[in-house]
């Protein structure tokens, strides 16, 4: 029989406890970190362990009826099995009902005295930041922010940031908070985005590199490590190649050397690249979030409903529909393969193993191009790492060790 969590708040099976009040999966008192959607899938299966749960029920309960591909459910089932030491062959806990759904087959009992886990440290408060402005070479006003103390760490601007909002947004706040703990973390909104001017005459890749040059000059920086995320990675690569005397170390995450239009092979990939532009043209300015959720599904496929809502707000706040199209057109034309080969500083490249927006092979391409580079594959499906996933802690530890070295 199934046991109501309202009665106990937790279920026990073998050495495991699934605690819905604390939102934790534990084994022998130790917390096993799983993605929120993996936890939700486990909860639905265990709550209904007396029967199999259809795929449609799982889509409705975990994704709220939002359209997602079957691969999303398969990956959550695989992650749930992995957390329990199970697999698709033994199926000790989760049995596949072929073509229909899944059933939890472990022996489940109510846990009336679930062991109290060790208290997690409180989340550090948001850092104080100072926002200022400078002018690009063509007169466009650029907003930049400085948070934390210590040696500088500069992040090249990437799409969809807002200096005033990122400090509280679930999409970016952990980046600002954690990267400013040991460094004077410097970031800026690129032209057409956030607090920088939305009306900009130029929107080319060279404009973006020149904007980074303007921010560096405004702050009087001489030599510093440079971080590039997503398409900001290409800007960071170009800057490092053009200014080897300035960049001491280069950190790239989810980056690529070739934009979607350049790397597209065959009609299917070309249609996928064109679809980005069509979605931005049609849906960016609408109140209906359905169009923008396509981007959320690519950037944060493992995100919670709250993560997706935050990403939708980020899209609406950071830029206009017209600029979104301009950004995407220019992203597609990026090609820094030649400049990547000229990067002279030590480079750390991190990439989510199952990145849905920029597949892992393009991180591998960057590692092959940049001479003194090291590639770290992160266990994640997300293009932008979330605070809750284990890959974020791996990212932090790798960056700290790399910068210290």
For residue 306, what pLDDT is reported? Answer: 76
Count of C-beta atoms within a 10 Å radius of residue 68: 16
Tens of pLDDT, residue by residue over 130-158, are 999 999 999 999 999 999 999 999 999 99
Domain ranges of the chain: 5-110, 129-404
Tell me how far apart the alpha carbons of residues 17 and 28 are, in angstroms, rounded to a whole number: 8
Residue, of 332 and 228, whose pLDDT is higher: 228
For residue 366, what pLDDT is reported? Answer: 97
For residue 290, what pLDDT is reported? Answer: 62
Mean pLDDT of 344-354: 96
For residue 274, what pLDDT is reported? Answer: 72
Q: What is the DSSP string of 266-298?
A: HHHHHHHHHHHHHHHHHHTTSS-THHHHHHHHH
Residue 404 burial class via C-beta count within 10 angstroms: exposed 0-12, middle 13-18, buried 19 and up:
exposed
Q: What is the DSSP string of 350-396?
A: EEETT-SSS-HHHHHHHHHHSTTEEEEEES-S-SS--SSSHHHHHHH
Classify 4 as helix, strand or coil: coil
Tell me how far apart the alpha carbons of residues 102 and 193 are, in angstroms, rounded to a whole number: 44
Tell me how far apart the alpha carbons of residues 147 and 277 are, in angstroms, rounded to a whole number: 34
Tens of pLDDT, residue by residue over 38-68, are 888 999 999 898 899 998 888 888 876 566 6
Q: Which long-range contacts (CB under 8 A, 24 or more apart) does 63-67 make?
A: 63/37, 63/305, 64/305, 66/293, 66/308
- DSSP class of residue 100 equals T
Token pair 């800057």 is found at 239
Nearest to 302 by CA among 104, 45, 34: 34
Q: What are 12's strand-pairing partners? A: 17, 109
Which residues have CB under 8 Å from 302's CB, separation 6+? 35, 37, 380, 381, 382, 386, 389
Span 5-110: which CATH code?
A: 1.10.10.10
Nearest to 132 by CA among 143, 117, 120: 143
- DSSP class of residue 323 equals H
Residue 140 burial class via C-beta count within 10 angstroms: exposed 0-12, middle 13-18, buried 19 and up:
buried
Q: Do the beta carbons of residue 189 and residue 195 sit within 8 Å?
A: yes
Q: What are 187's strand-pairing partners? A: 145
| 215-229, 231-245, 265-279, 383-397: least confidently modelled range | 265-279
Q: Reply yes or no on domain 129-404 having CATH 3.40.50.300.
A: no
Q: Is the pLDDT of residue 6 over 70?
A: no
Is there a shared CATH topology between the 5-110 domain and the 129-404 domain? no
Tell me how far apart the alpha carbons of residues 248 and 346 are, in angstroms, rounded to a whole number: 7
Q: What is the pTM of this model?
A: 0.70
């Amino acid at each position: 029989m199934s046991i109501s969590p309202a009665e106990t708040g937790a279920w026990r099976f073998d050495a495991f406890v699934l605690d819905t009040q604390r939102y934790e999966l534990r084994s022998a008192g130790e917390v096993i970190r799983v993605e929120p959607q993996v936890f939700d899938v486990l909860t639905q299966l265990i709550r209904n362990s007396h029967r199999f749960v259809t795929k449609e029920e799982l889509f409705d309960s975990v994704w709220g009826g939002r359209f997602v591909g079957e691969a999303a459910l398969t990956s959550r089932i695989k992650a749930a099995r992995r957390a329990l030491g199970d697999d698709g062959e033994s199926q000790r806990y989760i049995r596949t009902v072929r073509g229909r759904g899944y059933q939890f087959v472990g022996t489940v009992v109510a846990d009336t005295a679930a062991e109290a886990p060790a208290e997690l440290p409180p989340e550090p408060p948001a850092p104080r930041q100072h926002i200022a402005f400078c002018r690009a070479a063509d007169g466009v006003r650029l907003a930049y922010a400085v948070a934390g103390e210590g040696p500088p760490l500069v992040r090249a601007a990437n799409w969809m940031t807002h200096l005033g909002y990122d400090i509280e947004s679930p999409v970016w706040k952990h980046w600002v908070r954690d990267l400013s703990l040991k460094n004077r973390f410097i970031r800026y909104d690129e032209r057409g985005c956030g607090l920088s001017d939305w009306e900009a005459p130029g929107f080319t890749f060279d404009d973006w590199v020149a904007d980074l040059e303007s921010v560096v000059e405004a702050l009087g920086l001489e030599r510093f490590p440079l971080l590039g995320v997503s398409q900001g990675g290409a800007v960071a690569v170009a800057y490092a190649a053009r200014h080897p005397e300035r960049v001491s170390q280069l950190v790239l995450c989810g980056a690529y050397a070739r934009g979607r239009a350049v790397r597209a092979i065959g009609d299917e990939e070309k249609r996928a690249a064109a679809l980005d532009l069509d979605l931005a043209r049609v849906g960016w300015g609408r109140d209906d979030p359905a169009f923008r959720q396509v981007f959320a599904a690519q950037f944060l496929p493992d995100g919670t409903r709250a993560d997706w809502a935050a990403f939708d707000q980020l899209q609406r706040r950071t830029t206009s529909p017209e600029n979104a199209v301009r950004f995407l057109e220019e992203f597609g034309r990026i090609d820094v393969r030649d400049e990547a080969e000229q990067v002279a500083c030590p480079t750390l490249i991190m990439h989510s193993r199952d990145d849905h927006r920029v597949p892992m092979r393009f991180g591998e391409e960057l590692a092959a191009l940049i001479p003194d580079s090291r590639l770290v594959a992160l266990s994640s499906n997300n293009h932008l790492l979330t605070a809750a996933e284990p890959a974020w802690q791996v990212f932090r530890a790798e960056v700290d060790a790399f910068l210290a070295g």
